[in-house]
Amino acid sequence: MGSLSKLSPAKVTAQLPFPYRAPTVPRGVEPLPEEPKLGAHYDTDWARRFPARWARAVILEAALRPAVRVLADPERRGYDRLAGLEPPVIFAANHHSHVDAGLLLTSLPEPFRYKVFAAAAADYFFVNRVAAAASALALGAIPIERSEVTRRSADQSAALLDDGWNMVIFPEGGRSPDGWGQHFRGGAAYLSTRCGVPVVPVHMEGTGRILPKGRNRPRPGRTRVTFGTPMRPADGESSRRYAARIEDAVAALADEVSHDWYTARVRAHAGQSPDLTGADLGGWRRTWALGDRKPIRARKRRWPDL
Amino acid sequence: MPRPGFVLEVDGSTPPILFHHGEGFRLEKLPAGRSRVVYPGEPLEPIDDVDQAIEDALLHPLDTDPLPALLRPDMKLTICFDDVSLPLPPMKRPDIRQRVIEAVLDMAAAAGVDDVHLIAALALHRRMTESELRQAVGDRVYDAFEPKGLLYNHDAEDPDNLSFLGTTDKGEEVEINKRAAESDLIVYVNINLVAMDGGHKSTATGLASYRSLRHHHNVNVMRHSRSFMDRHSSELHHSNWRMGEVIRNAGVKIFQIETTLNNDTFGQDGPMSVLAKREWEWSTRDRAAFVGLQQGVKLLKPAARRKAFQTWRAPYGLTSVTAGAVDPVHERTLERCFEQHLVSVEGQTDILTMGLPYICPYNVNSIMNPILVMCLGLGYFFNMYRGKPLVREGGVLIMTHPTPWEFHPVHHPSYIDFFEQVLAETTDPLEMEQRYEKQFAEDEWYRHLYRTSYAYHGVHPFYMWYWGSHALEHLGRVIIVGGDPKAVRRLGFKPASTMADAFEMASDVVGAAPTITHLHNPPIVMADVT
Amino acid sequence: MKAVLFERKPARYAAAAVAGRIVPGRGASVGPLRLADVDPPELPGDGWQRLRPRLAGICGSDLATIDGRSSRYFEPIVSFPFTPGHEVVGDLDDGTRAVLVPVLSCVTRGVEPLCPGCASSQINRCERIAFGHLEPGLQTGFCTDTGGGWSIALVAHESQLLPVPKAMPDEQAVMVEPTACAVHAARSLRGPIDTVAVLGAGTLGLLTVAALRAHADVTTIMVTAKYPAQQRLATELGADWVAAPAELARAIRSATGSFVVGGRPTGGAEVVIDCVGSADSLTQALAVTRPGGEVLVVGMPGHTSLDLTALWHRETGLRGCYAYTVDDFEAALGLVGEADLGRLVSATYPLSRYEEAVDHAANAGRRGAVKVAFDLRDEKERTR
């Protein structure tokens, strides 16, 4: 009995002398404030060094891509709009679901695919060490405060962009609560202007049906990813206006998906692209009108390929 | 700085020269001291910002108002574009047609134009398949217009959809697509791969019917087109220009957009890049790539080989995009074409040699049958000259191509019959024109296949033969090296198994120690012979 | 007397069937065929004469028999052992040359009254070929009593003999019998016909082309021929279009301006004359005959398996065409001279080299030959 209690680790550590255990703080001394290591302060530099990049590429191709294919069955369009485009680039997409990040990362073409970081909500992905490390490793995520553009996260993103890294960001600041979008915040626009990097608007359709906010179990479905024409800020354009323009571009892409390209262009030129946020709809009509936004699927090929 | 094309005098230390040989290649040693090789120029610097260049062209057209000023919401707008025969090989996506058409449509969208049709101006060529249309105009345009029936292939045999616009002063009837003729504006999007393309030929040929085409697609006109790559010496083009005038006088407004591509057919690196290099500059890596290519090709069955080659997409760069009135636009295009293709050559030669590649305008995603071999060699390559033909009158043409007795049953049904029934009787273009053309042109079955399947028009094989009629008249003998002897003889040519045999056979016609010129094409080269 | 003899030996016949299927003509050496010394056939009665063959041709039906391909249909209408050879020009005892009309009809068999066929002079339709005072046998060359052309001598009824004009060479005369078959086929066609397709350009096919030109009102004659020599001869004899069998359907489609469904032309030739008689040729014939048209089977078909849906659906007539009347024979006698059909005789052999002769005949097309015949003019026994 006595021998067993002697093996208890707590007892062992309690008996260890000072250098082998943490010191105690003398009374009357103010202890140093504990430096925050999580949330927006999580340091992700290690995730962009060689072993982590290599591991991320493996995770992307071997795990994420097959998972996305099974879950989201994506149809990807608009790569031709990226012809001649060189890194670094900011990909700004609408956000409905946790599937979005994986879908977008697997949809990026070369030369953007393996040198990319994602802006992820510090208060969601970086709350504990395990989640933070996983996000940083698998998604190349860096923590961003969603409530405000803080100096720290902005500087970090800008430094990475300047270093030639591409950025994936969801400017809505969070997943859609009800299937409709939210207005774009200024982060992507600000960084584009600050670093002189083009923004590629991206529209993802269908992820909300797979794993909407508030559900835990995904329901496999079909999705469509559409890349838009790269955008640059106009001279003297404010981040707000620029962000609104990016939102309009994504809205036009959404229109292109649910109608056709030419109709979408006509409406975009006339400033009549359907609003992503459903701002003009209230009450039950918000849900009701969602049904109209499903895309027209490519019909079965009518012509044989000879 | 890309180097221009030039003429190499072959000497004792010149390495063997590359000859294309269908889906394969040959290296042939040319006799030193009396041979020369005409090399194409290296790819011109492409335009960096293509979309900007397109926008500039549309906003600052030659001799006409900017495109946005021509667009009104209630107008009928028809956008016509070149078919699958251009460019060769097909280019990497996005195709230049797509980029231009999207720019045009974006302006039309800004103007709120509702009534837009897009027509593949394919004259009597086969209809384009869905994937070919997608390749040409892009998915966005295809998905926006095709499902509504607003994007389609021109049908030269649809009596309800052609309109007769009049006759030229030489009595040539002009009949083109009705929708195009009745539009307020036709925007024609060209790819001017060679100097033959574009100008008034775009509309007067691409949108025409058989009734209209026969006035310039015939033996007499082709014999007086010397060459048909030189618009100002080409009866083919004179006729088209006369027709263009009739079209203009009928009140049809055309906004012409022409684009030129550089010679970057095989890429700067990658498996095919060696084909664009000069033999003495082949590095170890190039030579390894060539051997690998040649041996790899041999391992494949013919069908697989064809498929492998047909999937090649050329990384062409855009060298110009010009918009506006047909004539000034075309003149500028010709300048850019010649800048890339033209090489000065002094004097004619006794023997002209050429290696025929796996593709010609009429076998994209298809089989290069013997008639197309004839057309590519005696039609296109032979006519790659300005001034005088490269080979003297009565000289010998030696081409390399496997020339298999094989036809694509869907694309070329009338070719099979032409080969079996017409060529068995005569290889004289005039005689076949008189005896057989009408029967083939009016065959209901061919008409049905042209209109509903993916077949070239019944009369098309005749046109292939007429395309070579100038060469047939000019040449003393045609020899095909490495071809199926039966098929080659059916064409009226002589088969040879090696280049040495061919030179031996040629000496019957041009005597001992003849001069030899090799046209090192593709990438495209055109000889300016003085 | 030397004669090539075909005996009833089932085991050897089976062996010939196997060998013949592997190498055409091999049935001659392994089958029930042999060169024998036999007694000359006796004259069966009044009106019979002895005919000493000068040239005797080898016919497709002979080859079928030798290679064990003939139908069991023939069993009751032949009698063993027999000497083959029914394409014969020979000398009569009085020195005149004559060609043999080999059909053994009522008259030759002493049958009275004549059957309806013979009564109307259509001896090829005789219903008594197994009866009367002769052993069964549809023709000389299949009957044990008469002997056959591949020998020094045979017997023939006077109704079977037609004198040969003095100027006519033997080579032309030996072609009269097969030409008569072709003439019979050509004369059986009614009215002006736009397009006739002739399948096969062996002896029968080529002669049919010549006969069509001479005895039928046909605008376009299309012929399939496998070998270059056949193609050349077909053109010379009057064909408007000659090519390989695989090209026929396309040529007919194009000539008649028809459509295509399921790889078959929807229209076709008014009349197709099958001079091959194989399942393949009959299938092709049915496929290229226009609805309401007619297929004429001139080549002996034998046991064949065919899909007749097209025949039913397109209301195609399928008509056999066997032999000739004496009338046809006389017309043929004229035609061989006019069209110089003697040139079709490509090779002759003495009886002693009968195996080689059969082999040559069985592979005639490939070897650039048309008709192979036995030449008996120099046989020693003949003058005895």
Chain segment A186-213, per-residue pLDDT in tens: 888 999 999 999 999 999 988 888 888 8
**Contact with chain A for residue B97, Cβ under 8 A:** no
Contacts of residues C297-300 at CB distance under 8 Å and 24 or more positions apart, as own/partner, are C297/C321, C298/C181, C298/C182, C298/C185, C298/C204, C298/C208, C298/C273, C298/C274, C299/C60, C299/C200, C299/C204, C299/C274, C299/C275, C300/C60, C300/C61, C300/C64, C300/C70
Any idea how long chain C is? 384
> Which residue ranges make up each domain of chain C?
2-177+325-383, 189-320
Question: C246 CA to chain B: closest CA distance, Å?
Answer: 10
Residue A99's nearest CA partner among A75, A71, A119, A130 is: A71
**pTM: predicted TM-score of the whole model, two decimal places:** 0.85
Residue A182 in this model has a pLDDT that exceeds 90: no
Asked if residue A70 is part of any domain, the answer here is no
Among chain B, residues having any CB pair with chain C shorter than 8 Å are 416-417, 420-421, 424, 439-440, 443-445, 448
Tokens for B190?
A: 């060209």
Is the predicted pLDDT of residue A294 greater than 80, yes or no? no
| Cα distances (angstroms) measured from residue B22 to each of A32, B88, B357, B400 | 79, 14, 5, 8
Q: What's the gap between Cα A247 and its chain centre?
A: 16
Q: Looking at chain B, which residues constitute the CATH 3.90.226.30 domain(s)?
A: 6-43+342-529
The secondary structure of A103-126 as a DSSP string is HHHHHPPTTTTTSEEEEEEHHHHS
For residue A303, name the pLDDT band (cuts at 50, 70, 90).
low
Q: Is C141 helix (H, G, I), strand (E, B) or coil?
A: coil
B307 touches chain A (CB under 8 A): no
Q: Domain C189-320's class?
A: alpha beta
Give B324: exposed, middle or buried? Use CB within 10 Å, 0-12, 13-18, 19+. Answer: buried
**Predicted pLDDT at C356:** 94
Structure confidence by residue, pLDDT tens digits, C110-164: 998 999 999 999 999 999 999 999 999 999 999 999 999 999 999 999 999 999 9
Confidence of residue A123 (pLDDT cuts 50, 70, 90): confident
Angle at B460 between CA B457 and CA B462, to 5 degrees: 145
Judged by CB atoms closer than 8 Å, whether chains meet at B445 and C260 is answered as: yes
Of B206, B239, B197, nearest in space to B79 by CA? B206
In a domain, A20, yes or no: no
Out of 3.90.180.10, 3.40.50.720, 3.40.50.620, 3.40.50.11540, the CATH code matching C2-177+325-383 is 3.90.180.10
Separation CA B196–CA B214 (nearest Å): 18
Q: Is residue A2 scored above 50 in pLDDT? A: no
**From the CA of C196, how many Å to the nearest CA of chain B?**
17
Domain assignment present for A221: yes
Query: Cβ(C160)–Cβ(C9) under 8 Å?
Result: no
Q: Tell me if chain B has a CB within 8 Å of the CB of A260.
A: yes
Q: Which two tokens stand for residue B369?
A: 């049958």
Q: How far is C284 from chain B (nearest CA, A)?
A: 18
Q: C258 vs B445: CB contact, 8 Å cut-off?
A: yes
- Put simply, whether B129 touches A (Cβ < 8 Å) is yes
Q: Shortest Cα distance from B411 to chain A (angstroms)?
A: 9
Nearest by CB to B445, from C241, C251, C259: name it: C259
Chain B nearest CA to A131, separation (Å): 40
Please report whether residue A202 resides in a domain.
Answer: yes
CB C93 within 8 A of CB C383: no
Of B49, B94, B144, the CB nearest to A261: B144
Q: How many domains does chain A have?
A: 1
> Cβ distance A59 to A101 under 8 Å?
no
User: Hey, is the C-beta of A299 within 8 angstroms of any chain B C-beta?
Assistant: yes
Contact B106 A265 (CB under 8 A): yes
Phi, psi of B340 (to 5 degrees): -80, -40
Rounded Cα distance between B217 and B229, Å, is 15
User: What is the distance between the terminal CA atoms of chain B, rounded to a whole angstrom?
Assistant: 27
CATH code 3.40.50.11440 region(s) in chain B: 52-261
Contacts of C333 (CB under 8 A, 6+ apart): C99, C162, C164, C165, C176
Report yes or no: A300 at the B interface, CB cutoff 8 Å. no
For residue A37, which amino acid is it?
A: K
* Subunits with 3+ C-beta pairs closer than 8 A to C: B
Q: Which residues, including other chains, have CB under 8 Å from residue B388's CB and lie 6 or more apart?
A: B348, B529, B530
Which residues, listed in sequence order, are joined to residue A121 by a DSSP beta bridge?
A144
pLDDT band at A302 (very low <50, low <70, confident <90, very high): low
Would you place residue A121 in the very low, low, confident or very high pLDDT band (cuts 50, 70, 90)?
confident
Alpha-carbon distance of C175 to C189, in angstroms, equals 22
Out of A256, A265, A302, closest to residue B105 by CB: A265
Interface of chain C toward chain B, CB-CB under 8 angstroms: 241, 243, 247, 250-251, 253-254, 257-260
Q: What is the domain extent for residue A263? A: 39-63+79-276
Looking at residue A1, its pLDDT comes to 47
Q: Is A128 inside a domain boundary?
A: yes
CA-CA distance, B108 to B99, in Å (whole number)?
14
Residue A126 — pLDDT band, cuts 50, 70, 90? confident
Does the pLDDT value for residue A7 go beyond 70? no
Is residue A291 a part of any domain in this protein? no
Instruction: Choose the mutation target among B77, B79, B140 for the interface with A, i.e. most A CBs under 10 Å.
Output: B140
- List of chain C residues with pLDDT < 50: none
Name the H helices within B72-115: 96-111
Chosen CATH of B6-43+342-529 out of 1.10.10.10, 3.40.50.720, 3.30.365.10, 3.90.226.30: 3.90.226.30
- Could you give the CA distance from residue C117 to residue C129 in angstroms, rounded to a whole number? 11
Does CATH number 3.40.1350.10 belong to domain B52-261? Answer: no
Predicted confidence at residue A16, as pLDDT, reads: 78
Strand, coil or helix: what is B63? coil
Mean pLDDT within A12-21: 76
d(CA B268, CA B270): 7
> Among residues C165, C163, C151, which one has the least CA distance to residue C53?
C151
Euclidean distance between CA atoms B58 and C12, whole angstroms: 89
More confident residue, C117 or A121: C117
CA B463 to CA C131: how far, in whole Å?
A: 68
- The distance of B272 to chain C (nearest Cα, Å) reads 39
Contact C353, C58 (CB under 8 A): no
Task: Give the neighbours of chain B: at least 3 Cβ pairs within 8 Å.
Answer: A, C
Nearest to C349 by CA among C322, C378, C320, C324: C378
Contacts of B432 in chain C (CB under 8 A): none
- Please list the pLDDT of chain B residue by residue as tens digits (530 residues): 889 999 999 999 999 999 999 999 999 999 999 999 999 999 999 999 999 999 999 999 999 999 999 999 999 999 999 999 989 999 998 999 999 999 999 999 999 999 999 999 999 999 999 999 999 999 999 999 999 999 999 999 999 999 999 999 999 999 999 999 999 999 999 999 999 999 999 999 999 999 999 999 999 999 999 999 999 999 999 999 999 999 999 999 999 999 999 999 999 888 889 999 999 999 999 999 999 999 999 899 999 999 999 999 999 999 999 999 999 999 999 999 999 999 999 999 999 999 999 999 999 999 999 999 999 999 999 999 999 999 999 999 999 999 999 999 999 999 999 999 999 999 999 999 999 999 999 999 999 999 999 999 999 999 999 999 999 999 999 999 999 999 999 999 999 999 999 999 999 999 999 999 999 989 999 999 98
| Facing B98 at nearest CB: one of A80, A265, A306 | A80
